[in-house]
Structure 1
């Protein structure tokens, strides 16, 4: 892992990094991170590692002292898009322009991206745990929306290091239901109620498929990129409770 830049603002240190072909960012509290939980943050399709929805994870840094890491999905952000990905993206734009359903295209595209992103996240996690300020004992969570949910589902179903997950809206299909049945860690799942292209009943079915003993379903007005502040507070508290910083905060 090679850090390419470092800036500091409002008590948060931001470091951009490169790991092989993976481009990412690491946010940490300026006050120090030894023993801090690590939150992995997955962005939505068509966005990038510093998208506003990802940046909302900074609440965990400023409020609970977490370290937060995000990487660009293949063909997103600072990473070049291959020919097949470009074809999928163009097909989505054509369908939207023609007011046609985009779900079938997005599902195939996101699954392809997630299959490539899972080993990249695992390699990133290996590199992060090798950093002395994080280490192998840091508790780890994953949060994501849209494409970030697909990647997070596939990752968590095969990655035992992840101890809690928080997901937003996503197009539901059989592969996601199958992955959800393998996940037993605590879960907070949000449905953006006004997301026209996401079916409510399918979203509830995905929530039901999770094998987690502790899981909570939230529905909020707006779209997946319009998360209310109180939901961000809830998400941060959820991760703090399950990854080890809630007690520290409550005692201050």
Structure 2
């Protein structure tokens, strides 16, 4: 999943970016409100973390602009203010959650994952599409009770497909979820990951969990059993 971090304090921004990458997210970042607004409205973002006290363009204005453009990805606001009036203003502007600095890495990661699950219709940390289970907290994958060992990128591709189970997900969309904007991208890398996933998840081609739709993308075909 691709996260945007908009924070003007360099040390804090770098720490958040590092923590999120360690937690398995793809991260874009911006050091001021103007740059953050551009990325927030022009890049294929899945979720954003926006500090309110930004130079050039305020965090509140970024949130309002994102919503005005009809973009509905989740947004978490960061601030040093704890007054309830501030929280109301942020939520009414269109934010989905609110954190007061200092930010703890585990809490931030957990909130982001919960918001992303909710956005795609899941409510629990374990995503069940029998016989496949994916635990988003532990980043582990099981077929029935047998754990399947995946690389970090294989896991991220599978997690994205399961979160959007039943949807057609384009190759471009999958690539955008894996790599920051300035990363060199191999157009065939998604095909490689999909092939590896099929071999690991379904070596005998019995359950056929990932469908290829020529010219359109991929679809995770197994039905979810938990909301």
* TM bracket (short chain): 0.3 to 0.5
TM-score (norm 2): 0.39
Q: What's the TM-score, normalizing by structure 1?
A: 0.36
